[in-house]
Amino acid sequence: MNDENAQFCSNCQSPLSPVSGGIGSGGGYQPMQSVNQGAMTDWKQLGADKKIIAGICGILIGSLGVHKFILGYTTEGIIQIVITVVTCGAGGVVGLIEGIIYLTKTDEDFVRTYIQNKRGWF
């Protein structure tokens, strides 16, 4: 229980809003309406803005590994080019699949998987 004059919750440190002096009210503060913090995250700013361009490049020119370079995976991009050369172009299927995967993920999943966790393949 929070002190009636507290401005922040003693458990979670959330700001408390002032209580108007209604009947039975001793003044003080009550918890503000909770807000889903995940919904307030700007995934575009965290790297989701690369999702569309990496996905399209993966689908169209995935054999060149451009989608890997866009995401900052230089080693994986070079490996993608080598795979494509060694397989006479069949390695482009990997880029196609990855492009589709990128575009079907939510912004949150994309950022967590490919930007934060640095998952280089699929």
Q: Helix (H, G, I), strand (E, B), or coil: what is residue 83?
A: helix
Give me the helix-helix angle, 74-86 and 92-104, nearest 10°. 140
Question: Domain spans of the chain?
Answer: 1-34, 44-116
- Answering whether pTM is above 0.85, one says no
Predicted confidence band at 119 (pLDDT cuts at 50, 70, 90)? Answer: confident
End-to-end CA distance of the chain: 48
Taking only the tens place, the pLDDT of each residue in 78-113 is 999 999 999 998 888 999 999 999 999 999 999 999
